[in-house]
Structure 1
């Protein structure tokens, strides 16, 4: 099993166990935990990107002349590049008509995460994006900071899980709690739905 998984990949599991057999069991648990993390963070990504997109559409509609927010949003160089790549993929390099929803689906979790960082506080958060998390803290600066902190943590653990990296030493219960809080700030119904769908607490409880 060491050869199959590789000594390097198994090393972090060996440090937390007393035998190869225990390390392999912990590795197997890490696989299950990663799958559960992808479920809850997938819900976070879909619900939050739709909420943020909704507010950006409304924001662009309030600005004359009316246009798709893709064409008027004041992004930095990285954000502009990410949006251009998403539009390129969504249209198959211009070979098909651009559809708004296809572009939104092509934008990465990281793109949405950075939209709530401090760099966009005045230009996007205050006039528009804070409404995507209407049930969050009342102070808009505190709300943005807390939303950004949760996005950061969930983006990190999602990427670890997606690339089969060790997450067995993380406080996954905290990650799960942050995910539910972020979803509840969008809609209490979203938080309730995710809580019913996610099996991460049960997986955490079964950790060897």
Structure 2
């Protein structure tokens, strides 16, 4: 009864995705069974989303801090000197170049991060019990507001600025060995682009693609969308590639259990088990077991 009632509180568009998933695969099931299996899949989806969010959080934090470290190291070596001829074109300053990797023509993400941090500061001031009541925001507060998309976006746009592309790739010092391992696992795997293109650029694009794929699944999980068709083993491989690019030890640091739960996670498998359980139950009722 509680399971059936649950479907009443899930909006029709949300729950229909689960109903369709079950009905498309097992059209012979009775309506009430289809609904019950859909509810079980929804409960599985909630658990799967929690696992995904927890696992991907390591990737996001490791990547953002590694990239930040390399950018700050590079900036420390840069100098902005005076210009003496008004006719000479002025090269863009290092900060401007980095901001061009973060921001787009439509949005200033760094300014949005600053505004979000200031909103948090206002919350601290209104709550006298908050540990940071009376504090001013700092650089770390603004940095923490940059979202996951910042990093794959920067990598994608950096191919137009080869020097900064190398700065970002320095955050992934083991990317070439990570790709070699990937080719051993999948001999026919190919990097984006053509064979004649610069290998480092192709690796950068591959890394951006992997991060974007991870981020898309993370967004679905965080928005409570269904994960019915997510290839969880592939998600695991993508995370291992990214972490392995940072350094092989990062995989062990993030996943001491090597993310075994993701390796076997599958909505198709859950549904198949539910159907098999029902068949065994019916056979036992009919006296056939």
The alpha-carbon deviation at position 4 of structure 1 amounts to 1.4
The CA distance in 1 between the partners of 2:121 and 2:8, in whole Å, is 46
Match of 1:156 among 193, 216, 232: 216
Mapped pair 1:140 → 2:162: no
Q: Which residue does the alignment assign to 2:188?
A: none
Mapped pair 1:204 → 2:270: no
The alpha-carbon deviation at position 149 of structure 1 amounts to 0.8
For 1:17-166, list aligned pairs within 5 A.
17=22, 18=29, 19-65=34-80, 73-75=98-100, 76-78=103-105, 81-92=108-119, 97=136, 99-117=138-156, 119-123=157-161, 125-137=164-176, 139-166=199-226
Where does the alignment leave 5 or more consecutive residues of structure 1 unmatched? none
The CA distance in 1 between the partners of 2:262 and 2:43, in whole Å, is 17
The alpha-carbon deviation at position 165 of structure 1 amounts to 0.3
The alpha-carbon deviation at position 79 of structure 1 amounts to 8.5
RMSD over aligned Cα atoms: 2.7
SS at match of 2:270: coil
The CA distance in 2 between the partners of 1:100 and 1:151, in whole Å, is 25
The alpha-carbon deviation at position 137 of structure 1 amounts to 2.5
Q: Which has the higher helix share?
A: 1
The CA distance in 2 between the partners of 1:128 and 1:169, in whole Å, is 36
Question: How many residues in Structure 1 have an aligned counterpart in Structure 2?
Answer: 205
Deviation string, structure 1 residues 79-103 (Cα, Å, up to 9, x no partner)? 8711112123334599865522222
The CA distance in 2 between the partners of 1:80 and 1:160, in whole Å, is 22
